[in-house]
Amino acid sequence: MNPVSAPTHHALTTEIPDYPMSRATGCPFDPPPELSELRAHAPVSRVRLWDGSTPWLVTGYADQRALLGDPRVSADVTRSGYPHQSAGLKARRAEASTFINQDDPEHARQRRMVTAAFSIKRVEAMRPAIQRIVEELIDELLAGPKPVDLVQAFALPVPSLVICELLGVPYQDHEFFQVRSRALIKSTATPEESVAAVRELIAYLDDLVGEKLAHPAEDLLSLVAEQVRAGALTRREAASMAQLLLVAGHETTANMIALGTLALIEHPDQLARVRESQDPKLIASAVEELLRYLNIVHSGRRRVALEDIEVGGVTVRAGEGLVLANDSGNRDPEVFAEPDRLDVGRNPRRHVAFGFGVHQCLGQPLARVELQVVYSTLYRRIPGLRLAADIEQIPFKHDGLVYGVYELPVTW
Amino acid sequence: MKVIIDQDKCVASGQCVLAAPEVFDQREEDGIVVLLAENPPQDAAESLREAAALCPALAIALEE
C-alpha cells in the first residue's frame, strides 16, 4: 500500500476529477490508476465530463451490476441529465434512435425483432463458416509480405466478413462502412463529423433495406425489412437498427482481436497456454479473461436515474447521470483474485465487459465464437507471431470510445 | 431444486444456455428462454446458480 495515497478521500475533497482519466504510461492494458483508488475509497463519486456536467462515477463491481439491473435507471439518451460521452456522440444520437438507447417496453419490442439471429444454437451453426474465414485470411497472411498490419489484414476483416454475411451487407463496401464506423466511435470527432458519418451510414443501409424489401434473402436485414412491411418499424427505425448492428458487429470484435493478440504477445506464458491448448474449455476461458482484462468499452456505460437511489453510501437523485466504469468493475479485488494479473485459465464468466442488465450486449454469443475461433487458430498456425515494432510505438486508441490499437505491425 | 424463469424479463443473452445447457434452451423465433427441466437433478445445482448469477435480466429464480 502506498502510504501517500492511502488517506486520499476523493469524496471529501472539493476537487472533482475529470473523466475519462488517462492510463498510466507503460501500462496500456490497465485502466487509469485513479479508478482503483476511487473504487477503494469513494466507489460512487462525482466526476466532471467534457461539457462540465458532474454525474456520478460508479467504480465497484457490485454497485455496477445493481444499477445496470435496476429499472429505476434509464438508458434513454433524450432524458435531461444523461451523461453523453462526447459532443459528437450527443449530436449523432439525436440523428438515430435505436434500442440500445431506449427503455422498456420499446427497447424489448425492438430488440426481440433481432434476438433470434444471436441465439446460442444459431451462432454455433456459424462456427464452421467463421473458422473457414479465419483460415483463409491466415493463408493470405502467410502468403503475403511481412511485416504486416494485423488490424487491416486480419482483425478488421474477420468480424466484417462475418457481420456482412449475417446481415446481408455486401463485403465489397467494407471500406465505406469501416471508415464511417471509426468516425462514430472516436471521442474527438466533432458533432459535424459524427452526424455526417451516421447520415451516410443510415442512407446506405436505408437503400439496402429497400433492396431487401424488393428481394428478400436469407439474412438478418431481410428480417428487419419484413418488420417494415408489417408496419412494426418505420424505414428510418429499420435503417437505424441496421446501422447499429453493422457498427457494433465489427468494430468491437476487431479491437478484441488486435488488442487481445498484443496482450498475449506481451504475456508469453499466457500466449503459450493458448497456443498449445487443444481444450475448447481453456480457449473459452481465455476469451472471457481477455474480455475482462481488456474491457475495451472503456468510457463507461452511461445511464440516468429516474428516481432517488441509494448506492455506495450516497443518494443519487432523480435526473442525475451515472457513469458505470466497467473497466474498473472488472478489476475489483472483491470479485476477481489478483485482478490485475492476466490468467487465461481463470474463466471469469461474471465479468461485466458486455455490460449487465437488459442492455447487455446483443451480439455477445457471436463475439465469443469469433474470438474463440481466432484465438484457437491464429497463434497455432503462426507460432512465431511477434511484434514488428517496439510496444512504445504502437498507437493505442486512447481517444476511442472503444479501446484498441489503430495499427499492429507483426511479423513471424 | 426448482427453477422459475420469467420470459417477459428475458433479453435472450444466451448466458443460461452456456452455463446449463441441459436445463435451458432458447425459442427458435426470438431466442427467449425456455425451460427443459423444471426440477433438474441436484448435481446441476452449481451450473444453475451460475446461470442465475449470469442472467443480465435477472429472469432466473431458484428455489432450493
What percent of chain A clears pLDDT 90, i.e. is strictly above it? 91
Q: Residue A383 is placed in which grid cell? A: 507460432
pLDDT score, position B11? 97
Instruction: Give me the mean pLDDT over the A277-286 stretch.
Output: 97
Least confident of A8-17, A148-157, B12-21: A8-17
- Nearest by CB to residue B11, choosing from A111, A116, A123, is A111
- Nearest by CB to residue A120, choosing from B9, B18, B57, is B18
Residue in chain A closest to B30 (alpha carbons) equals A116
Tell me how far apart the 2 most distant CA atoms of chain A are, in Å. 69
Residue in chain B closest to A354 (alpha carbons) equals B56
pLDDT score, position A94? 86
Whole-angstrom CA distances from A273 to A175, A341, A374, B32 are: 35, 15, 15, 36
Residues A315-326 pLDDT 10s: 999 999 999 999
Whole-angstrom CA distances from A162 to A181, A185, A204 are: 16, 20, 19
Domain ranges of chain B: 2-63
Kindly determine whether residue B31 and residue A350, on different chains, have CB atoms separated by under 8 Å.
Answer: no
Kindly determine whether residue A358 and residue B30, on different chains, have CB atoms separated by under 8 Å.
Answer: no
pLDDT score, position A162? 97
pLDDT score, position A215? 97
Question: Is A135 in contact with A377 (CB distance < 8 Å)?
Answer: yes
Buried (b) or exposed (e) across A43-72, using 16+ Cβ within 10 A? bbbbbebbeeeebbbbbbbebbbbbbbbee
Distance, in Å, from the CA atom of A330 to the CA atom of A295, rounded to the nearest integer, reads 7
Q: Which residues partner with A397 through β-bridges? A: none
Distance, in Å, from the CA atom of A284 to the CA atom of A393, rounded to the nearest integer, reads 31
Q: How confident is the model at residue A104 (pLDDT cuts 50, 70, 90)?
A: very high
- Nearest by CB to residue B30, choosing from A68, A112, A362, is A112
Residues A154-190 pLDDT 10s: 999 999 999 999 999 999 999 999 999 988 888 888 9
Q: How confident is the model at residue A376 (pLDDT cuts 50, 70, 90)?
A: very high
Residues A206-265 pLDDT 10s: 999 999 999 999 999 999 999 999 999 999 999 999 999 999 989 999 999 999 999 999
Residue A21 in this model has a pLDDT that exceeds 50:
yes
Distance, in Å, from the CA atom of A31 to the CA atom of A26, rounded to the nearest integer, reads 12
Residues B23-53 pLDDT 10s: 999 999 999 999 998 889 889 999 999 999 9
**Mutate which of A103, A111, A115 to disrupt the B interface (most B C-beta within 10 Å)?**
A115
Q: Which residues partner with A386 through β-bridges? A: A411
What CATH code would you report for B2-63? 3.30.70.20
Q: Which residues partner with B48 through β-bridges? A: none
pLDDT score, position A2? 42
Residues making up chain A, counted from first to last? 412
Q: Give the other-Cβ count within 10 Å of A412's Cβ.
A: 14
Q: How confident is the model at residue A95 (pLDDT cuts 50, 70, 90)?
A: confident
Contacts of B19 in chain A (CB under 8 A): 349
Distance, in Å, from the CA atom of B1 to the CA atom of A295, rounded to the nearest integer, reads 35
Least confident of A101-115, A170-184, A254-268, A346-360: A170-184
Instruction: Give me the mean pLDDT over the B55-61 stretch.
Output: 97
Contacts of A357 in chain B (CB under 8 A): 56-57
Contacts of B53 in chain A (CB under 8 A): 350
Residue A273 in this model has a pLDDT that exceeds 90:
yes
Sole residue written with cell 490468467: A343
Q: How confident is the model at residue A198 (pLDDT cuts 50, 70, 90)?
A: very high
Instruction: Please give, rounded to a whole number of angstroms, the shortest distance from the CA of A354 to a CA of chain B.
Output: 10
* B interface residues, A as partner, C-beta within 8 Å: 9, 11-14, 17-19, 21, 26-32, 50, 53-54, 56-58
Contacts of A120 in chain B (CB under 8 A): 14, 17-18, 21, 26
Residue in chain B closest to A65 (alpha carbons) equals B56
* A interface residues, B as partner, C-beta within 8 Å: 68-69, 108, 111-112, 115-116, 118-123, 349-350, 354-362, 364-365
Residue in chain A closest to B16 (alpha carbons) equals A120
Half-sphere exposure of B52 (CA within 13 A, CB side): 16
Instruction: Please give, rounded to a whole number of angstroms, the shortest distance from the CA of A365 to a CA of chain B.
Output: 7
Kindly determine whether residue A116 and residue B30, on different chains, have CB atoms separated by under 8 Å.
Answer: yes
Q: Residue A76 carries which DSSP code?
A: -
pLDDT score, position A14? 64
Q: Which parts of A72-220 are beta strand (E)?
A: 73-74, 148-149
Whole-angstrom CA distances from A309 to A56, A313, A319, A324 are: 12, 10, 11, 15
Question: Is B12 in contact with A119 (CB distance < 8 Å)?
Answer: yes
Q: Which fold has domain A63-293+351-411?
A: Cytochrome p450 (1.10.630)
Residue in chain B closest to A119 (alpha carbons) equals B31
Q: Which residues partner with A410 through β-bridges? A: A148, A387
Distance, in Å, from the CA atom of A114 to the CA atom of A127, rounded to the nearest integer, reads 19
Domain ranges of chain A: 63-293+351-411
pLDDT score, position A393? 96
Amino acid at B2: K
Residue A378 in this model has a pLDDT that exceeds 50:
yes
What's the ipTM? 0.96
- Nearest by CB to residue B50, choosing from A108, A349, A358, is A349
What percent of chain A clears pLDDT 70, i.e. is strictly above it? 97
